[in-house]
Each structure stands twice: as structure tokens, then as C-alpha cells.
């Protein structure tokens, strides 16, 4: 898919601010590909498309989780998680995007998972550190992103888990799986 086509397809589904966020994620993902390798085109497309389903009505997404045979347990967690796996399906259904790497990066961009592909890590991290973001601790993640993709992803998941715990929010198992898996990359997995 052409980059310009992807922008055209996504823009009507997002607010202006969310579209601009998506363009910054795409730009940040290209920067991470410069550092860690991979396809710049796929990274840019995944960045542009990652929040495609962000503003779908909740009722519609609830039905899609069932209709698309997505894990039912998603329904027991915050609806904020739904746009990622649903987006990965809708970009194919509505936009004809078939690339499995890009669909995986969209599917896991919110929670992460164990054994993330490089593109999944790049989009997960780009979504967290794009220049419009201002989370507590983000500068440390941005610094780490310059030298160690896994460590930076680990910091981002750790910060997200800490933020969710402070809010008394539930944490989806894939988020823990991502944290544990990335931990073994950075400290041998024994702690
Ligand atoms: O769509 P974006 O706002 O660009 O970013 P995102 O897709 O990473 O969504 C971020 C939200 O998802 C943020 O409010 C934290 C939340 N989140 C991430 N992991 C989990 C989670 N919420 C719950 N309940 N459980 C999780 O594991
Ligand atoms: Fe998102
Ligand atoms: Fe996003």
C-alpha cells in the first residue's frame, strides 16, 4: 500500500490530533528502523495505521470481538485495549492491507506480548515516545531508545504497568507477558 493511500484511508476515521499523533508515530518508527533495521515502508505504514479503530463505537467493537473470534477475555478489560486487535482486522477488511508484519504491529501496539517481532517493538515504542507524548519518565525511555530497543520497550511497559496500578486498573496478561519477556533480555530473567 502506498503511504499516501494509507493516510487518505486513515484520516477520516480519526480526529485531527489523533491523525497528527499517527504521523508522528510513523516518523518515530522510521527513526527506530534507522537504528535497529527493518523495512522503513512497513514501519511508516504501521505507524500511520496503528490507531485506525480508535474511535469505533464501543458496542460495535464488543460485537466484533465476538464475530472476529478475538479472545473473549478482552471484554473483561478496559475498552481502551480493543482498538488494537480490532484495528489489525479492519485494516485488512476495509483497506485491503494483508501484510502480516504490519497487522501484528497494529494488533499488539497497546499491550505488547511475549516474543514481539522487531516491528511490533518499534511500533509499541514509537507510540510511547513520539514527540507529542509527555509521560512521567519518558525522557529515560527516549534516551534508552537510542541504544537498546528491548530495554526501552521494557521501560515503557514497566511505566505503563506502574501507571495502571496507581489507577487501580486491571492489567491485561499480554502486558505482563511483554514485561517478563523483555526483562529476560535485560537482566538475565532471574530477578
Ligand atoms: O491509542 P493510544 O492512546 O495512542 O495509545 P495505546 O494504544 O497504547 O493506549 C494507551 C492506553 O491503554 C493507556 O491509557 C494505557 C492503556 N493500557 C495499556 N496496557 C494496558 C492498558 N490498560 C489496561 N487496562 N490494561 C493494560 O494491560
Ligand atoms: Fe493505540
Ligand atoms: Fe497511538
In this structure, the number of other CB atoms found within 10 A of the CB of residue 51 comes to 23
pLDDT of 179 higher than 70: yes
How confident is residue 186, by pLDDT bands cut at 50, 70 and 90? confident
- Residue 191 within any structural domain of the chain: no
CATH at 20: 1.10.3210.10
pLDDT of 189 higher than 70: no
Instruction: Tell me the average pLDDT of the chain.
Output: 96
pLDDT of 7 higher than 70: yes
> How does pLDDT run across 50-64, given as a tens digit for each residue?
999 999 999 999 999
Q: Determine the average pLDDT of the residues in 104-115.
A: 98
Distance 45 CA to ligand 2 centre (A): 14
In this structure, the number of other CB atoms found within 10 A of the CB of residue 8 comes to 11
Identify the burial level of 15 via C-beta atoms within 10 angstroms of its C-beta, where 0-12 means exposed, 13-18 middle and 19 or more buried: exposed
Minimum-distance ligand 1 atom for the alpha carbon of 128? 8
pLDDT of 168 higher than 80: yes
Contact 55, 81 (CB under 8 A): no
- The DSSP call for residue 191 is -
Structural domain harbouring 87: 3-134
pLDDT of 188 higher than 60: no
pTM check: above 0.85: yes
First-to-last alpha carbon distance for the chain, in angstroms, is: 44
187/139: higher pLDDT: 139
Residue 134: what are its φ and ψ, rounded to 5°?
-145, 80
Contact 9, 51 (CB under 8 A): no
pLDDT of 191 higher than 80: no
Cα 55–Cα 60–Cα 65 angle in degrees, nearest 5: 105
- Residue 104 within any structural domain of the chain: yes
Distance 27 CA to ligand 1 centre (A): 21
Probe residue for ligand 1, chosen from 80, 85, 109 as the CB with the greatest number of ligand atoms within 8 Å: 80
- Residue 165 within any structural domain of the chain: no
Contact 54, 15 (CB under 8 A): no
pLDDT of 130 higher than 80: yes
- Radius of gyration of the chain, Cα coordinates, nearest whole angstrom: 16
What is the distance between the alpha carbons of residues 38 and 24, in angstroms, rounded to a whole number? 18
- Residue 142 within any structural domain of the chain: no
Distance 79 CA to ligand 2 centre (A): 11
- Residue 106 within any structural domain of the chain: yes
Contact 180, 190 (CB under 8 A): no
Closest CA to ligand 1's atom 10: 110
- Domain count across the chain: 1
- Residue 15 within any structural domain of the chain: yes
- Residue 20 within any structural domain of the chain: yes
Q: Which ligand is nearest to the CA of 135?
A: 1
Q: Which ligand is nearest to the CA of 169?
A: 1
- Residue 12 within any structural domain of the chain: yes
Amino acid at each position: 500500500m502506498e503511504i499516501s493511500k494509507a493516510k487518505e484511508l486513515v484520516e477520516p476515521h480519526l480526529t485531527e490530533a489523533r491523525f497528527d499523533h499517527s504521523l508522528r508515530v510513523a516518523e518515530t518508527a522510521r527513526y527506530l528502523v534507522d537504528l535497529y533495521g527493518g523495512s522503513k515502508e512497513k514501519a511508516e505504514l504501521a505507524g500511520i495505521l496503528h490507531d485506525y479503530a480508535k474511535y469505533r463505537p464501543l458496542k460495535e467493537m464488543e460485537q466484533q470481538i465476538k464475530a472476529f473470534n478475538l479472545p473473549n477475555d478482552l471484554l473483561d478489560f478496559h475498552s481502551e485495549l480493543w482498538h488494537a486487535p480490532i484495528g489489525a482486522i479492519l485494516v485488512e477488511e476495509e483497506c485491503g492491507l494483508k501484510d502480516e508484519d504490519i497487522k501484528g504491529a497494529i494488533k499488539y501496539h497497546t499491550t505488547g506480548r511475549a516474543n514481539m517481532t522487531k516491528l511490533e517493538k518499534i511500533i509499541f515504542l514509537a507510540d510511547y515516545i513520539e514527540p507529542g507524548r509527555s509521560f512521567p519518565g519518558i525522557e529515560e525511555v527516549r534516551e534508552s531508545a537510542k541504544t537498546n530497543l528491548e530495554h526501552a520497550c521494557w521501560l515503557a511497559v514497566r511505566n505503563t504497568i506502574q501507571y495502571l496500578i496507581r489507577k487501580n486498573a486491571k492489567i491485561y496478561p499480554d502486558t505482563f507477558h511483554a514485561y517478563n519477556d523483555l526483562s529476560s533480555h535485560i537482566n538475565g530473567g532471574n530477578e
